[in-house]
Amino acid sequence: MAALSGLDISEGWTIALMAIAAPNTSTTTTTAPGTGQSYGAPLATVTTLFFMWGFLTCLNDILVPHLKSIFDLSYARIMLIQFAFFGAYFLFSIPSAKIIDWIGYQKSMVAGLLTMGLGAFLFVPAASAPSYPLFLGALIVLAAGITCLQVAANPYVTVLGKPETASSRLNLTQAFNSLGTFLAPFFGGLLILSAAPKSMDEIRAMAPDVLQAYRLHEAATVKTPYVGLGIALVVLAVAIGSFKLPTIEHAQHKVGEKVNDSIWRHPNLIFGAIAIFVYVGGEVSIGSFLVNYFGQPEIGGLTEKVAASFVAFYWGGAMVGRFIGSALLQKMSTRGLLGICAVCAAALVAISMLTTGHTAMYSIILVGFFNSIMFPSIFTLGVAELGPLTGDGSGVMIMAIVGGAIIPVAQGAIADRIGIHHAFFLPVLCYLYILFFALSGSKPNSQRYAKA
């Protein structure tokens, strides 16, 4: 029931989005170029998908500390959760792009939702075992569905209207993705981290039969939320399948169609894919470690449940920032705003590393606000001027989300050696690359090869 109420919240927000988007066709991008066709309703419908995958992705930040204590895992091993989840983006992005070429954007979104539902239901046998490898397997299936959804929905939003404000439009829809990430820690903290956690010394002192019973009890807390989410995803798939979404012919590469171009001739796409890799890696690394980070005596000394509520503000900052960013991008360049946010994020992570207590806590939380416009801005700049190759370019960009698999594991290994506090230097390097992309790497071919 909690999962379904989350879906109701999303539907309410999408109605609000329609109210915002529809009236002002002179400045928004909800009208097709040269046709006068309104895209307010389709944009609101697709926005619901952004909410759902944001919600499910952020629940991983609750699974990390929960399963870490259940299975007594090191930081490096528990980050296999993020490795399995985001590694699926690398495996399934290009196949998802081909699926779009084959069946189109809308049917690909439905296929993604149904696959996500299957992954959510697989949490039941994983918790019944209980088995860490089965949890990882369920996450891979869930992420495969999200991958298909992302490859279809992100470029669909960018071409669903005027190209000059595509970044603003994608930032607006991504704001509802952040609404999901904001609500997920509260939801997960209430249903998954509700019991008082035992210390690792207490767990290690348990007899084998008592330990198995403890793991069964604790693992079972994930069943109800993920079953509820699975049902919500299937219902949403039926709703999306029955809704008549417009076909965007100029941005779809049909099977067998010859295109006199290649995605590899667009440096902004290549640099953009690397930027997505480091951005997602940095953002996920920070989010994944926050519960454990805030539990450190020199930082906050918080319990897991209390720390989870603070994680919500990290993701909530991204939500607020995307609404603000969507308005700012109507007035300033995407590249300029992206560069400013990259500098601020790098500085805040560095401050958290060099301080303790509330300063370290709130500076790392504030990074979420400056993360806000990064993904939609990088994505829009990366797929600029791809035309009918937009779907294929989207596959490459979404494949780069594998950074969320690799960088958190690397930071986990570093944290095991030098401590969690100073392991955050890795996200700092990620944000510095994003600054390079904003200043130089994001130029499309029309600017890169323009005659002086």
Question: What is the chain's alpha carbon radius of gyration, rounded to the nearest angstrom?
Answer: 21
The answer to whether 59 touches 188, Cβ cutoff 8 Å, is yes
- 32-80 tens-digit pLDDT: 444 445 667 777 878 888 888 888 888 887 887 888 878 888 888 888 8
Mean pLDDT within 344-357 = 96
Mean pLDDT within 347-357 = 96
Angle between helices 105-121 and 80-103 (to 10 degrees): 150
Residues 6 or more apart in contact with residue 3 via CB below 8 angstroms: 187, 225, 228, 229, 231, 232
Is 197's pLDDT higher than 70?
Answer: no
Q: What's the CA angle centered on 82, arms 390 and 310, to 5 degrees?
A: 105
- 14-23 tens-digit pLDDT: 333 333 333 3
List of long-range contacts for 137-140, beta carbons under 8 Å, 24+ apart: 137/84, 139/60, 139/81, 139/84, 139/85, 139/88, 140/84, 140/85, 140/87, 140/88
- 390-417 tens-digit pLDDT: 778 888 998 998 898 899 989 999 999 9
Task: Measure the CA–CA gap between 60 and 188, rounded to whole angstroms.
Answer: 9
Return the pLDDT at 214.
74
Return the pLDDT at 42.
76
Mean of pLDDT over the chain: 82
Q: What's the CA angle centered on 124, arms 122 and 125, to 5 degrees?
A: 80
Domain boundaries, the chain: 2-448
Region of 246 (left: φ > 0; alpha: ψ -120 to 50; beta: rest) is: beta
Q: Would you give the distance in Å from CA 375 to the centre of its chain?
A: 9
More confident residue, 37 or 235: 235
Mean pLDDT within 89-96 = 89
Task: Measure the CA–CA gap between 145 and 109, rounded to whole angstroms.
Answer: 9
CATH number listed for the domain at residues 2-448: 1.20.1250.20
Residues 6 or more apart in contact with residue 207 via CB below 8 angstroms: none
Quote the tokens at residue 99: 């699926």
- 169-194 tens-digit pLDDT: 888 888 888 888 788 878 887 777 65
More confident residue, 396 or 257: 396
Mean pLDDT within 372-383 = 91
Return the pLDDT at 16.
38
Return the pLDDT at 114.
96
Which of 81-85, 347-351, 403-407 holds the top average pLDDT? 347-351
Task: Measure the CA–CA gap between 413 and 96, rounded to whole angstroms.
Answer: 31
Return the pLDDT at 47.
85
User: Model pTM?
Assistant: 0.71
The answer to whether 380 touches 334, Cβ cutoff 8 Å, is yes
Region of 330 (left: φ > 0; alpha: ψ -120 to 50; beta: rest) is: alpha
The full DSSP string for 15-29 is HHHHHHHSS-TTTSS
Q: How confident is the model at residue 259 (pLDDT cuts 50, 70, 90)?
A: low
